């Protein structure tokens, strides 16, 4: 079964800003994710940011993270919330900021 992957607008911008070679690696990982939504590792509380229900995937020898959330009781959609460098956990702070903006 193949699952639908959607990007929140900010994550789409993250994706567009990636280098071409990294984007290819991200595409490959997203293809794998579309076949298995539980491919990533569970996130919880990171740096006082509640990311319960989110997952992370590593790309490019763990230099880049994809952070996503599953939508629907039966996992109907995989919603990507951010793609960023694994630099001082910055991606988690970015997702926390996006969560605050959303509501």
Q: What is the dihedral of CA 23, 49, 42, 14, to 10 degrees?
A: -10
Q: From CA 37, how far away is CA 43, in angstroms rounded? A: 14
* Predicted local confidence at residue 89, as pLDDT: 79
Which residues are within 8 A (CB) of 99 and not within 5 positions of it... i.e. 6 or more apart? 49
Rounded to two decimals, the pTM is 0.88
CATH of residue 10's domain is 3.30.2310.20
Q: Which domain holds residue 79?
A: 4-102
CB 77 within 8 A of CB 6: yes
Tokens, residue 43: 């996130």
* Segment-wise mean pLDDT, segments of 10 residues, the chain, 103 residues: 91 95 96 94 87 93 93 84 85 90 80
| Domains of the chain: total | 1
* Predicted local confidence at residue 36, as pLDDT: 93
For tokens 């763990």, name the residue.
62
């Amino acid at each position: 079964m193949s699952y639908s992957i959607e990007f929140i607008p900010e994550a789409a911008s993250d994706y567009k800003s990636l280098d071409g070679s990294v984007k290819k690696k991200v595409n490959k990982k997203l293809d794998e994710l579309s076949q298995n939504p539980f491919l990533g590792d569970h996130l919880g509380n990171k740096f006082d940011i509640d990311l319960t229900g989110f997952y992370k995937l590593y790309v490019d020898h763990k230099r880049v993270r994809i952070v996503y959330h599953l939508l629907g009781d039966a996992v109907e959609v995989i919603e990507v919330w951010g793609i960023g460098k694994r630099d001082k956990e910055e991606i988690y702070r970015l997702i926390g900021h996006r969560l605050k903006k959303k509501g």
